[in-house]
Amino acid sequence: MRLDILTIFPEMFEGAFSLSIIKRAQTKGLVDIHIANIRDYATNKHKRVDDYPYGGGSGMVMMIEPIALCIEHLQSKTSYDEIIFMSPDGKLLDQKAANNLSTCRNLMILCGHYKGIDERIREKYITREISIGNYVLSGGELAAAVLTDSIIRLIPGVLNDETSALSDSFQDDMISAPVYTRPADYKGMKVPEILLSGNDKEIYQWRQNKALERTKARRPDLFIED
């Protein structure tokens, strides 16, 4: 997968993408991430990317030209499955959307800032708007990093044990069963006996029951009884 992220703060992705799973996916050649600095496409003398809103009001608006030039430059070389805008107005990100996007060849993600982006960008280029939650962040960068992580870990070959993405919380509309590691007894707090039994069938059943129990108790909204 090729992933282009458009931002005025490229540095915000340095840490997030240089460690752990996303780093490994890049090293293995399973994802090719490019960060484009929108400011590089500003044609005015001071490399401005924002301006006052027409009609007045507070806050600045990201200008159409630098974003349009950046998108069109990338589009001249690559055909994108989706051009995503990170926005609190977008559709809430869920596991289904992450699964769906993980099958794409080329994705572009645009990060907004200030009061918003010129509406004409949304009308002309954006194919999908995604929110990561019902709260407002200072910009789309952290949201884009969250979206990227949720997608990349689903690309076949990224996780060592492919089944581990399949057993993630939400993958089957259930949250995961609790997990434990050594020691089996920490200051009297014991790991459930069944997990030490070596009986795979019973362990599987125990995990299914726990997942069901937890989903009902914590996230009844996810729970659909057959």
List contacts with ligand ADE (CB under 6 A). 86-88, 131-133, 135-137, 140, 143
Residue closest to ligand ADE, measured at CB: 143
Element (H, E) at 122: helix 119-124
Strand partners, 110: 6, 85
State the minimum distance, in angstroms, from the CB of residue 80 to ligand ADE: 19
State the minimum distance, in angstroms, from the CB of residue 14 to ligand ADE: 19
Identity of residue 79: S
State the minimum distance, in angstroms, from the CB of residue 212 to ligand ADE: 30
The helix/strand/coil state of 25 is helix
Q: Which is nearer to ligand ADE, 49 or 211 (CB)?
A: 49
Q: Which is nearer to ligand ADE, 130 or 155 (CB)?
A: 130
Tokens representing 184 are 């089996």
Residue 13 CA neighbour count, 13 Å, CB half: 28
Q: Which is nearer to ligand ADE, 36 or 132 (CB)?
A: 132
Q: Which is nearer to ligand ADE, 66 or 116 (CB)?
A: 116
State the minimum distance, in angstroms, from the CB of residue 2 to ligand ADE: 21
| Longest CA span, the chain | 71
Q: Which is nearer to ligand ADE, 25 or 86 (CB)?
A: 86
Full DSSP string of 160-215: SSTHHHHTSTTTTSSPPPP---S-SEETTEEPPGGGGS--HHHHHHHHHHHHHHHH
